[in-house]
Amino acid sequence: MATKKRSSAAAKARVAFDPDPPPITDDAPPSRHERSAVDQARPPPKKPKRLISTKEMLERVNLSWPSVKDRVKAGTFPEPRKPSPRKFGWVEDEIDEWIANPELWIVNHPRRVEGRSTHGQVQGRWR
């Protein structure tokens, strides 16, 4: 003989509160496995452009300051940016590109047109 399952007090209260509940849908949040698949399919977030100091740039490229100045003037090295009248720095991604392949940077860099910079000259005096 099978025993009849008794309703709990909570189940009775739910039925009394809403005798006609909405139908059960498949709108459940994605499982942990599905979320990880979605996160893996997303492109990685873009890292913000970062200006690096002259000291850090010189340590990375292992060149002297006069060599860097000469290469910038010749158009064979990334140009510095001036965020304020007394400061300048280099875009970290451009320095990393130059380190990876200096010759490729010269030829294919989007800011170069026929060996000349389209950005213009750096304002102010370099030290």
Residue 122 and residue 79: Cα distance in Å, rounded?
A: 8
Residue 68 and residue 75: Cα distance in Å, rounded?
A: 10
Residue 115 and residue 97: Cα distance in Å, rounded?
A: 17
What are phi and psi for residue 31, nearest 5 degrees? -70, 170
**Top-confidence residue, 90 or 75:** 90
Query: Tokens in use for 27?
Result: 């709108």
**Top-confidence residue, 118 or 103:** 103
Instruction: Specify the 3-state DSSP secondary structure of 109.
Output: coil
Residues 60-87, mean pLDDT to the nearest whole number: 89
pLDDT at 27: 67
Tens-place pLDDT, residues 30-70: 676 666 776 777 777 777 789 999 999 999 999 999 999 98
